[in-house]
Structure 1
Amino acid sequence: MNYISITFQISENWQQEIVIAQLDAIGFEGFEVTEKELIAFIATGDYIEDEFLVAITPLREEYGFTFNLTEVAEQNWNEAWEKSFQPIIINHDIAVRASFHPPFPGVKYDIIIDPKMSFGTGHHATTSMMMQLMLLEDFNGKKVLDFGSGTGILSVLAAKLHAASVLAIDHEEWACNNAVENFGLNKVLMANVVRGDAALFQTEQFDLILANINLTIITGTMLQFKSALLNGGKLLISGFLESDEKAVIESAGEAGFSVGNKLLQEGWLAMSLYCE
């Protein structure tokens, strides 16, 4: 499978964040941020030029940036990840590294992620904040749903936090395959990954639901999340900007949720929701 790579000449961090949010909502799966550029990736078969131009033209006119588009082979993408993917420490407790990196000494949770084209390495603020929120919850013996699982990184952490079972769902086949690979690298046995959408969890209930996706899907799925939670359960969400906080809280309130913990990082927001 080939991919479309679009490089934006944008140096302002807040402008990069807004562009990422717009592209994430129309199916872009990978982003690389530098001091002067934003590079976005999408599978060639998922790229719709008219949809892209509708999303990006108003921002280009307002901010005055330029961009160029190239096609990238899957092998080249994976090689680029291996060259650029640096291990990180999150909250002093979690190490995220690729399989070709040596282990970090002294951390509680050592997570191995070979990302391929899937989103979720801990480097993006939303993934990092989700993992920080997870450390505040009790996963021991709990049933967990990871919706929009990407690399499976949150499922892996849930397993390391002693969850009884994890159901990971993603709509992309290559993301599901990548999650299975990462489960193997981390010796995760109680997690299962399936390809699909919210219809797959309508007949089950969970103690904890993890959803690091985007504003549109989170607000549009809030009622399904509510019905899929056991009594006393919690929903942890991210993938939206600070400017979207009002819309998310309104949607959560309409579904019967209250807001618990909130984290803000680089303009992105994450929060835990619970029912009274």
Structure 2
Amino acid sequence: MDFIEVTLKVNADFADILTAELGELGFDAFVETEDGFSAYIEENKYNQQDLEDTLNRYADFVQVEYTVQKIERQNWNEEWERNFEPLFIGGEVSVRASFHEKPSNAKYDIVINPKMSFGTGHHETTTLMIENQLTIDHQGKRVLDMGCGTGILAIMAGELGASEIVAVEIEDWTVENARDNAELNGYGNIDVRLGGAETVTGENPFDIILANINRNVLLEDMPAYKAVLKPEGWLLLSGFYTEDLPMIQQRCEELGLKYESHRVKNNWVSAIFKA
């Protein structure tokens, strides 16, 4: 499967908004650039008219220049190696590619080879989720990572001592990537599944559920999460903006989930709820 790369030159204030908009169109990997970002989508999912319609909605507010090119799947490593810089999150977590040196001051060290999957830690939502994970006791816990992307949050759960981890993704090549990354980090026992919320229906309950997806999916799948969350269990959510938080809170409260706290970075939010 080949991919389409759309590189946008856009003001930083609108980059996150357009990232979210393109996410709704099916783009599921994003790389920041000096003057905007690049977005990637499977070739068979790409629709030029949808892209133009989306960008035209913002024409009165921001000037956007963009280019489109086809990227062969086997060339993806070259793309991300050119752009992927190591990260240090929460003063404890190193996120790096396999060709980066391991930092000596990292309490936790995660190696990620994205291969077109979302979740290298560079996006605010992934960083926020990891920061929130650091505040939750994972030791010996059963953890579910919905929309796992590269598997970074599931791997973080392993680093924090989770005893059993299930990760779920809707794309087969993303599942493959998450499994590879889990193996690379010594967590080959992570159960990575293809599908959506239906894949955990009737499961034994989880102590912690992680879901970094988007607002609409979270709202739709919340009952499924609640159904497999243990009493006193934790639900960590991200993939939405500050203005969406009241809507997320209301949905959680309707299901008996109590709001605990949230973090914000560049208008993106990660919130913690408790059963």
Shared fold, TM over 0.5: yes
Q: Counterpart of 2:235 in 1: which secondary structure?
A: strand
When structure 1 is superposed on structure 2, of 246-255 and 91-100 the one drifting more is: 246-255
Once residues 44 and 103 of structure 1 are traced to their aligned partners in structure 2, the CA distance between those partners, rounded to angstroms, is 35
Once residues 188 and 68 of structure 2 are traced to their aligned partners in structure 1, the CA distance between those partners, rounded to angstroms, is 40
Once residues 243 and 32 of structure 1 are traced to their aligned partners in structure 2, the CA distance between those partners, rounded to angstroms, is 24
Which residue does 1:143 correspond to in 2? Answer: 142
Determine if contact 1:239/1:268 at 8 Å carries over to the other structure: yes
Which residue does 2:157 correspond to in 1? Answer: 158
Once residues 54 and 220 of structure 2 are traced to their aligned partners in structure 1, the CA distance between those partners, rounded to angstroms, is 19
Which residue does 1:248 correspond to in 2? Answer: 248
Which residue does 2:64 correspond to in 1? Answer: 65
- Cα deviation for residue 240 of structure 1 reads 0.9
- Cα deviation for residue 237 of structure 1 reads 0.6
Which residue does 2:222 correspond to in 1? Answer: 222
Q: What's the TM-score once normalised by structure 2's chain length?
A: 0.95
Which residue does 1:16 correspond to in 2? Answer: 15
Q: How does 1:174-193 map to 2 (within 5 A)?
A: 174-193=173-192
Once residues 59 and 232 of structure 2 are traced to their aligned partners in structure 1, the CA distance between those partners, rounded to angstroms, is 45
Q: Counterpart of 1:221 in 2: which secondary structure?
A: helix
Matched, 1:235 2:215: no
- Cα deviation for residue 123 of structure 1 reads 1.1
Matched, 1:43 2:75: no
Superposed CA deviations along residues 83-112 of structure 1, whole A, max 9, x for unmatched, are: 211111111110111111121113211111
- Aligned pair in 2 of structure 1 residues 99, 35: CA closer, same or farther (>3 Å)? closer
Once residues 28 and 88 of structure 2 are traced to their aligned partners in structure 1, the CA distance between those partners, rounded to angstroms, is 23
Which residue does 1:113 correspond to in 2? Answer: 112
Q: Counterpart of 1:63 in 2: which secondary structure?
A: coil
- Cα deviation for residue 50 of structure 1 reads 4.2
- Cα deviation for residue 183 of structure 1 reads 1.1
Code of the residue aligned with 2:120 in structure 1: it is T
Which residue does 1:274 correspond to in 2? Answer: 274
Q: Counterpart of 1:19 in 2: which secondary structure?
A: helix
Which residue does 2:172 correspond to in 1? Answer: 173
Q: What's the TM-score once normalised by structure 1's chain length?
A: 0.94
Which residue does 1:6 correspond to in 2? Answer: 6
Code of the residue aligned with 2:246 in structure 1: it is K
Once residues 83 and 65 of structure 2 are traced to their aligned partners in structure 1, the CA distance between those partners, rounded to angstroms, is 24
- Cα deviation for residue 54 of structure 1 reads 4.2
Determine if contact 2:209/2:234 at 8 Å carries over to the other structure: yes
Q: Counterpart of 1:141 in 2: which secondary structure?
A: coil
Determine if contact 2:55/2:64 at 8 Å carries over to the other structure: no
Stretches of structure 1 lacking an aligned partner (at least 5 in a row): none
Once residues 64 and 101 of structure 1 are traced to their aligned partners in structure 2, the CA distance between those partners, rounded to angstroms, is 36
Q: Counterpart of 1:67 in 2: which secondary structure?
A: strand
Q: Counterpart of 2:35 in 1: which secondary structure?
A: coil
When structure 1 is superposed on structure 2, of 75-84 and 208-217 the one drifting more is: 75-84
Q: Counterpart of 2:57 in 1: which secondary structure?
A: helix
- Cα deviation for residue 71 of structure 1 reads 1.2
Once residues 183 and 128 of structure 1 are traced to their aligned partners in structure 2, the CA distance between those partners, rounded to angstroms, is 18
Stretches of structure 2 lacking an aligned partner (at least 5 in a row): none
Once residues 96 and 34 of structure 2 are traced to their aligned partners in structure 1, the CA distance between those partners, rounded to angstroms, is 23
Once residues 252 and 54 of structure 2 are traced to their aligned partners in structure 1, the CA distance between those partners, rounded to angstroms, is 26
Once residues 67 and 81 of structure 2 are traced to their aligned partners in structure 1, the CA distance between those partners, rounded to angstroms, is 23
- Cα deviation for residue 184 of structure 1 reads 1.2
- Aligned pair in 2 of structure 1 residues 146, 19: CA closer, same or farther (>3 Å)? same
Once residues 73 and 60 of structure 1 are traced to their aligned partners in structure 2, the CA distance between those partners, rounded to angstroms, is 31
Which residue does 1:257 correspond to in 2? Answer: 257
- Aligned pair in 2 of structure 1 residues 134, 71: CA closer, same or farther (>3 Å)? same
Determine if contact 1:60/1:66 at 8 Å carries over to the other structure: no
Which residue does 1:209 correspond to in 2? Answer: 209
- Cα deviation for residue 75 of structure 1 reads 2.4
